[in-house]
Amino acid sequence: MELTGWRGSLYYYMDWALKLAYLNILWLVGIVIGIGFAGFFPSTVAMFSVLRKWTQGEDEELKVLSHFKSEYKKEFIKSNKYGYLWAGFGLVIYVDLQFFRGIPSMWALIVSLFFFMLGAIYIVALLYSFPVYVHYKLTIKQYFKNCVLIVLSNPLFSVFMVLGFYFPYYLMMKIPGLLLFFSGSLIGLVLMIISNKMFTILEKNKEQNNPK
């Protein structure tokens, strides 16, 4: 019997909460298995891969544990290369920004502003990094290029991505008990939903510009 009304809504949201909690625990276990530094990126890729399936309506037939394990193993090396390249770029931008901010001159201020803007683009591109990774099959160089191009060509969605990260993060900082169950999966779900909207627009534009 299908539930309707408020019972149906309650069941729907409770079902999503349980799925997200389960996925979040898998994500944390994956990080621990990889001893943190080697497990974070493959575990995050596996989590986003599951979220992509869910947001595309493939949740009923999806075996979450087996899919998570498969993606974790398959993407272990490539996702670590990808993730640590992102981390490396971020570190370079941060160090350069701090260096030039410490120089009391006009040219250093101009360079600092440049690295500040570069840092802002980097942060938003980073939010797209995992949704893009699980949605497309590209080289690592192409992933970086596409993330940056998406940010620069779609500023409105970039704002949505920042807000989509901030509000779940703010909620969990206010209610720390949620961290164990939703710290990664809830943020990931919001980012994946927004990214899917963006990918749909990009694919429609591509079809319009390249009619068969």
pLDDT, averaged across the chain = 91
Domain ranges of the chain: 5-209
Band (pLDDT 50/70/90 cuts) for residue 212 is low
Asked if the model's pLDDT at residue 210 lies above 90, the reply is: no
Q: CB–CB of 61/50 below 8 Å? A: no
Band (pLDDT 50/70/90 cuts) for residue 206 is confident
Asked if the model's pLDDT at residue 183 lies above 60, the reply is: yes
Sign of the Cα torsion 166, 170, 171, 172 reads: positive
In terms of Cβ atoms closer than 10 Å to its own Cβ (0-12, 13-18, 19+), residue 34 is middle
Closest C-alpha among 73, 76, 62, 57 to residue 23: 62
Q: What is the pLDDT of residue 60?
A: 64
Burial 66-103 (b: 16+ CB within 10 A, else e): eebeebbeebbebbbebbeebeeeeeebeebbeebeee
Q: CB–CB of 196/55 below 8 Å? A: yes
Average pLDDT in the 146-172 region?
94
Q: What is the pLDDT of residue 1?
A: 46
Band (pLDDT 50/70/90 cuts) for residue 207 is confident
* Long-range own/partner contacts, residues 147-150 (CB < 8 A, 24 or more apart): 148/121, 150/125, 150/198, 150/202
Asked if the model's pLDDT at residue 7 lies above 80, the reply is: no
Closest C-alpha among 180, 197, 198, 185 to residue 49: 185
Q: Distance between CA 82 and CA 95 in Å, rounded?
A: 20
The tens digit of pLDDT for each residue in 104-145 reads 889 999 999 999 999 999 999 999 999 999 999 999 999 999
Q: What is the pLDDT of residue 3?
A: 57
Report the predicted TM-score, pTM, of the whole model to 2 decimal places: 0.92
The tens digit of pLDDT for each residue in 8-50 reads 678 888 989 999 999 999 999 999 999 989 999 999 999 999 9
Token output for 182: 């939703």
